[in-house]
Amino acid sequence: MSNEQGFRKYILVLQWPATSENDFDALISMEDLLQSDLPDECGVVDGHDFGAGEMNIFIETDRPLEAFDHARTSLSTDKRWASVRAAYRPVDEQRYIVLWPKALEVFSVS
């Protein structure tokens, strides 16, 4: 449960390779879709970043696994979903816990 100020325990990151303006447009579309689809109890979309060959959507959540499942449901029809990497971390730590793909061993945000 989040505290009274609305702070969540975890940051979930959805990440894709990105290099073009088309990638940026897709990022904005995916972020908008998540903002409208993600149930409040699963978290809040907290922005994005784009650069260094990647694009990321950040979700503040107390339920990273449920938030990821909702994101998958919302975004899986987009062809980019096949190349998603996802991980989460406690807000006060730097080490990520990989969710997807299962074989991914190292996750970072540039």
Task: Determine the pLDDT at residue 2.
Answer: 43
pLDDT classification of 7: cutoffs 50, 70, 90: confident
pTM: 0.92
> 78-101: per-residue pLDDT in tens?
999 999 999 999 999 999 999 999
**What are the structural domains of the chain?**
10-100 (3.30.70.600)
The DSSP 8-state label assigned to residue 78 in this structure reads: S
According to the model, what pLDDT value does residue 68 have?
A: 97
In the chain, pLDDT over 70 holds for what percent of residues?
95
If you write DSSP's letter for every residue of 1-39 in order, what string do you get? ---TT---SEEEEEEEE--SHHHHHHHHHHHHHHHHHS-
